[in-house]
């Protein structure tokens, strides 16, 4: 992350309510992030205490020392007297081994806390791929909602709380990359997709189905894998069958009239980036979401496609020559996501989330023994 872009400020609002008013934060900022999901989830979690969070993290079956993938991506954050502290940190060879995604969240929150004073709070952040409580090993259904969890993406039915997505990092770079968008007469009347072999084996993967569809209909779709993470024999066979291809930048993909967006192991980070550049998105129906997904509208911000891609070819034929529709969707999608992912909007997202969450946080919040101040990881510039 470029810390010069963090825009540290000495302006400090006394509370979240004043901050939201000054920022003109919308009361319905995001349905998925801070609306019905948060209100309903609090019915399951009830009052949150620091002791309850500590008990969860020390559980022998799913605590930090369990060796479980999901738990190794969970970090504890506390805001005490408007200073951010971290604990539940992983170590490697005696050194803190902080996940790169966690750095961006820490630096963002540190900047945020220089703008507004918030009530002391204590929460967990998960920075891995999709998480649901059912994924935990030896999960006890009687403890279905052990503690609240802040995540960057989730399944639509998951009782976790959405924060800004991974794609927020590098979002402005994607916008700068779209400085020159070719006219429709200079674009191929087909759809493009490039990606890796995540999301299942070659036989049951939706991505593999997409590539095979491209081989059968090259006039409609140009879809290829750029990286094979399967076994060597399968990868060699994929090369022989023409399923592998060269990588293409987002700008190069603007030479096609549409971009196909399909899930892998989780949802694609590039969705927001490519929408912000003005790409017309053919989006696969998916149970996964980021905080802004439910606010995006079919046929206004993107073109919907069935989960099994059964209507993808028909969708492409339907819109490929309709430049008026493509212009409308590309422009509306671009303007929509640029607003949703703008720094002020993400500030509002966190303000709304923390304000609502803190109402269910038992006070006082006690600093965890051995926790480390965020300045150790993300130092602000001198003022």
> What secondary structure, in 3-state letters, does 289-325 show?
ECCCHHHCCECCCEEEECCCCCCHHHHHHHHCCCHHH
Q: Three-state SS for 223? A: strand
Each residue's pLDDT tens digit in the chain (383 positions)? 443 444 444 568 988 889 988 888 875 455 445 555 555 555 556 678 888 888 888 876 655 555 566 777 889 999 999 999 999 888 778 888 888 889 899 999 999 999 999 999 999 999 988 777 666 655 555 555 578 889 999 888 777 888 999 999 888 888 887 767 788 889 999 999 999 998 877 888 999 999 999 999 999 999 999 999 889 999 999 999 999 999 999 889 999 999 999 999 888 989 999 999 999 999 999 999 999 998 999 999 999 999 999 999 999 999 999 999 999 999 999 999 999 999 999 999 999 888 888 888 888 999 999 999 988 887 654 44
pTM: 0.88
Residue 305 confidence (pLDDT): 98
| 365 φψ region: left (φ > 0), alpha (ψ -120 to 50), beta (else) | beta
Q: Is residue 364 reached through a cis peptide bond, with omega within 30 degrees of 0 on the bond before it?
A: yes
Cα–Cα distance measured from residue 1 to residue 195, given in angstroms and rounded to the nearest whole number = 24
Please state the three-class secondary structure of 112-168 as a single string: HHCCECCCCEEEEEECCCCCCHHHCCCCCHHHCCCCCCEECCEECCCCCEECCCHHH
Domain boundaries of the chain, sorted by first residue: 3-164+343-376, 171-340
- For the CA atoms of 192, 195, 201, 206, the dihedral, rounded to the nearest 10 degrees, stands at -30
Note the pLDDT of residue 284.
97
Q: How far apart are CA 57 and CA 234, in angstroms?
A: 40
- How high is the pLDDT of residue 379? 61
**8 A C-beta contact, residue 87 and residue 78:** yes
Say what the pLDDT of residue 136 is: 63
Rounded CA separation 234/230 (Å):
6
Quote the pLDDT of residue 143: 55
- Which pLDDT score is estimated for 56? 82
pLDDT for the residue 2: 43
CATH number for region 171-340: 3.40.50.2000
Please report the pLDDT score of residue 8 as a whole number.
43
Please state the φ and ψ torsions of residue 333, each to the nearest 5 degrees.
-65, -45
């Amino acid at each position: 992350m470029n810390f010069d872009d963090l825009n540290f400020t000495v302006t400090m609002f006394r509370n979240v309510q004043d901050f939201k008013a000054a920022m003109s934060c919308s009361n319905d900022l995001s349905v998925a992030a801070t609306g019905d999901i948060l209100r309903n989830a609090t019915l399951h979690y009830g009052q949150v205490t620091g002791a309850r969070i500590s008990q969860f993290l020390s559980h022998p079956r799913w605590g930090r020392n369990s060796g479980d993938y999901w738990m190794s991506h969970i970090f504890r954050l506390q805001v005490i007297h408007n200073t951010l502290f971290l604990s539940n940190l992983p170590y490697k060879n005696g050194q803190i081994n902080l996940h790169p995604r966690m750095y961006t969240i820490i630096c963002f929150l540190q900047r945020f806390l220089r703008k507004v004073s918030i009530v002391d709070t204590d929460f967990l952040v998960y920075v891995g791929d999709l998480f649901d409580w059912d994924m935990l090993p030896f999960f006890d259904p009687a403890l279905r909602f052990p503690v609240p969890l802040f995540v960057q993406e989730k399944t639509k039915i998951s009782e976790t709380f959405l924060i800004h997505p991974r794609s927020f990092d590098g979002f402005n770079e994607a916008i700068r990359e779209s400085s020159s968008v070719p006219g429709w007469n200079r674009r191929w009347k087909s759809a493009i997709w490039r990606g890796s072999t995540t999301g299942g084996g070659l036989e049951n993967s939706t991505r593999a189905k997409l590539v095979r569809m491209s081989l059968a209909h090259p006039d409609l779709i140009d879809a290829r894998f750029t990286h094979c993470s399967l076994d060597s024999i399968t990868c060699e066979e994929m090369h022989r069958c023409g399923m592998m291809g060269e990588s293409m930048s987002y700008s190069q993909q603007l030479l096609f009239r549409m971009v196909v967006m399909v899930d892998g192991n989780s949802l694609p980070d590039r969705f927001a980036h490519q929408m912000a550049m003005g790409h017309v998105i053919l989006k696969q129906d998916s149970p996964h979401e980021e905080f802004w997904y439910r606010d995006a509208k079919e046929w206004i911000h993107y073109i919907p496609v069935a989960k099994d891609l059964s209507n993808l070819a028909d969708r492409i034929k339907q819109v490929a020559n309709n430049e008026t529709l493509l212009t409308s969707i590309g422009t509306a999608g671009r303007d929509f996501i640029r607003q949703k992912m703008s720094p002020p909007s993400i500030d509002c997202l966190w303000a709304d989330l923390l304000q609502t969450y803190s109402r269910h946080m038992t006070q006082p919040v006690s600093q965890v023994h051995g926790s480390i101040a965020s300045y150790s990881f993300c130092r602000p510039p001198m003022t």
